[in-house]
Structure 1
Amino acid sequence: MKTGKFQPHNRNISGFTLIELLILLAIVSLTLTITTPIALSIYKSQHEKHFFHVMNSDILLIQNIAVGGASQKSKLVFQKDQYTVINSIEQRVETRSYPSGWKLNGQNRTIYFKKNGTIGAPGTIVIHTDKNNYKVIFPLGKGRGYVEKQ
């Protein structure tokens, strides 16, 4: 039997209090504050690895083209803010810019390979990143060069 009188709500409803929500929010914000710099440093590290992987692929491409007979027409030209891949077989030029904050130490340098696969202009190129320095070494004799972290 219901009368028209006001019935109070059930007081046993469970939920979170304001204090519990504030504690949870503090834990989440603290976790984000700690993990964000770590994630950014991992991203930069992976970005460097990827850049040098692509550069090694470009160097190998130029060497393979030279061994195939297109010597000195295909080359890599390293400049202050970028390097250019000149592929004589496909008659394509690709410019790959260094990530922001990276600079090439010294003057422009052109790398090409002879028909026997040796480097036509041996030498070293130093690339300065935000935190590291890398030497791209093109040795005298056979080989295609390698990257060394200083």
Structure 2
Amino acid sequence: MKNNKSGFTLVELLIALFVLQLILVIGYYNAQKATDYSFTLWYEQFELDILYLQKHTMNTSTRYVLQFYPENNYYQIKPSPVRPAIIHRDLPPNWKVSVLTLGNPLSFAHTGQIRQPGTIKVETKDEIYFIYFPFGKGRSYYVKNQ
């Protein structure tokens, strides 16, 4: 009779499990970076829209506003709250924006200073970010909630 052994040794099994675990950890890490990256891209566009709003208000001396519509998940830049939008930006469908202390609509004085500084909260699928608009020349920054 021939002694035919089939199967894996314990060392081979441990090596296979280690490789599988390594692949899963790398995949999870990349998925986390992708979430942060999508918010970063959105925030860069949002900052450009804020800068456009500020510069347009300063150059034309017309009160342009950025109006959030949290229930419909978008924001618009308009010459006034009742006139048609010149810029319309949709947010990703699984995000939620809450205007906490920031004036809605957001606007600037003809000198470039924000009229009602404050905070908004952006909840993505995995993270929560707070965007702060301090007193001054209309710059904003965000903090990722830990």
TM-score per shorter chain, which class?
0.5 to 0.7
Q: 1:32 to 1:141 in 2, by over 3 A?
A: closer
Corresponding residue for residue 51 of structure 1 = 42
CA-based RMSD of the aligned residues comes to: 3.0
Query: Of 100, 104, 110, which residue of structure 2 is paired with 1:115?
Result: 110
Corresponding residue for residue 93 of structure 1 = 86
Percent sequence identity over aligned pairs: 26
**In the alignment, does 2:124 pair up with 1:129?**
yes
Corresponding residue for residue 32 of structure 2 = 41
Corresponding residue for residue 105 of structure 1 = 98
Partner letter of residue 58 of structure 1?
Answer: D
SS in 2 for 1:40: helix
| Structure 1: gaps (5+ residues) | 1-25
Normalising to structure 2: TM-score of the pair?
0.67
| Structure 2: gaps (5+ residues) | 1-15
Corresponding residue for residue 147 of structure 1 = 142
Q: Deviations over 1:54-103 (max 9, x none)?
A: 1011101111111112431x221112112112368xx8522222223211
Q: Quick check: which has more Rg, 1 or 2?
A: 1
Corresponding residue for residue 7 of structure 1 = none
Q: Quick check: 2:76–2:85 contact (8 Å CA) kept in 1? A: no
